[in-house]
Chain A
Amino acid sequence: MLAAVSIAEQANSPAMAAERQLLAYNARDLDAFAACFAEDVQVYDHPGVLNLQGREAFRARYVERFKSEGLHAIAVHRAIVGSRVIDHERVWLDGPGNSDPIDLVVIYTVREGLISRVDFIKEEPSS
């Protein structure tokens, strides 16, 4: 019984939520990917600029990207602080052989096993 509770807690843990969405991203499985996020998920560009809101809007954002067969992302480093997972991620939009990697930091805030907030730290386009 205790073990069952513990396994359930692990499945709902912030780290598992972040990992599930990374796996779905790499599988380019849009349904599994969207299912990792809360219906009212808020997505910010750091610091605190609301970029989009809601699972459907988030899902729509990735339809085109998931068509790229080479799409691949890895977590180079992952820190877990309370309900938050802070990933240093490296993404190849068109596969490691065909495109340069993009490094970014993504902060996932997890509530009841679902990602309720995402904060992206990306390099700003040089002006």
Chain B
Amino acid sequence: MIELLAALILFAAQDGDDGNPRDMAERTVAAAIEAHNAHDLEGFLATMAEDVSFLTLEGDVLVEGRDAVAEIWGRRFAERPELVAEILYRTVIGNRVIDDELLCLNGVDQPCVQLVAIYTVENDLIQTMHVIQPRGGN
């Protein structure tokens, strides 16, 4: 009985280590948001592939490459000490994470913008983020 239990625990642990794409994708995005909200640029960048891209739903490129992310968010973290993203709801479909979020540029007490971000995670790193913003699209 104890052996069975041990085997089950081992199995569960292995399952967690290997992870399925769904759990890994969720963990990666959760780490990105946590680092973003801590204004931890290194931690934020560590969740992204070197050739990460941020795009509109139509596929127009907004930001390309981790270096560009470093430059933009480095400035943003410095200029907006209250910048925070609040996740309202999260869906995970395979290796995709879809966040319904409030982005508050000047803290939660100031007006925030609702947007939806779709992350595609490959090899534990964010490869693309498609963002749906209020004025985007047709």
Interface members, chain A 75-112 (any B CB < 8 Å): 76-77, 79, 81-84, 86, 88, 103-105, 107, 109, 111
**How far apart are the CA atoms of A55 and B138 in the complex, in Å?**
18
Question: What residue of chain B has the Cβ atom nearest to residue A109's Cβ?
Answer: B137
Answer whether residue B98 sits at the interface, using C-beta atoms and an 8 A cutoff.
yes
Chain A nearest CB from B25 CB (Å) reads 11
> Residues 88-132 of chain B: 1 if any A CB is under 8 Å from the residue's CB, otherwise 0?
110101101010100000000000001110101000000010101
Q: What chain A residues lie within 8 Å of B100 (beta carbons)? A: 77, 79, 86
The distance from the CB of B129 to the nearest CB of chain A, in whole angstroms, is: 11
Shortest CB distance A42–B (Å)? 10
Which residues of B are found within 8 Å of A47, using beta-carbon distances? 55, 59, 118, 120, 128, 130
Q: Does B135 contact A (CB under 8 A)?
A: yes
Contact partners of B89 in chain A: CB under 8 A: 77, 79, 88
Q: Is A31 located at the chain interface by the 8 A CB criterion?
A: no
Chain B residues, CB < 8 A from A76 = 91
- A116→B138 CA distance, assembly (Å): 9
- List residues of chain B with CB within 8 A of the CB of A79: 88-89, 100, 114, 116
Which of the four size classes fits the interface of chain A?
Answer: 20 to 34
A residues less than 8 Å from B116 (CB atoms): 79, 81, 84, 86, 107
Tell me how many residues of B have a C-beta within 8 Å of chain A. 26
A122 within 8 A of B: yes
Q: Could you tell me if B132 and A88 are in contact, using CB atoms closer than 8 angstroms?
A: no
Cβ contacts A35-48/B at 8 Å (1 or 0 each): 00000000000111
Contact of A84 with B132 in the complex, beta carbons under 8 Å: yes
Q: How far is the CB of A100 from chain B (nearest CB, A)?
A: 15
The minimal Cβ–Cβ distance linking B106 to chain A, given in whole angstroms, is 20
The residues of A that contact B137 with a CB separation of less than 8 Å are 82-84, 109
Q: Please, which residue of chain A has its CB at the minimum distance from the CB of B96?
A: A121
Q: A48-B59, A88-B98 are in contact. List 16 more A-B contacts (CB 8 A).
A: A47-B59, A47-B118, A47-B130, A77-B100, A79-B88, A81-B116, A84-B57, A88-B89, A105-B93, A107-B132, A116-B138, A117-B138, A119-B57, A121-B96, A121-B118, A122-B94
Give chain A's interface residues, CB within 8 Å of chain B. 46-48, 76-77, 79, 81-84, 86, 88, 103-105, 107, 109, 111, 116-117, 119, 121-124
B-side interface residues toward A, CB under 8 Å?
A: 55, 57-59, 88-89, 91, 93-94, 96, 98, 100, 114-116, 118, 120, 128, 130, 132-138
List, sorted by A's number, 23 A–B pairs whose CB atoms are closer than 8 Å.
A47-B59, A47-B120, A47-B130, A48-B57, A48-B58, A77-B100, A79-B89, A79-B116, A81-B115, A81-B132, A82-B134, A82-B136, A84-B57, A88-B89, A105-B98, A105-B118, A107-B132, A109-B137, A111-B138, A121-B96, A121-B98, A122-B93, A123-B93
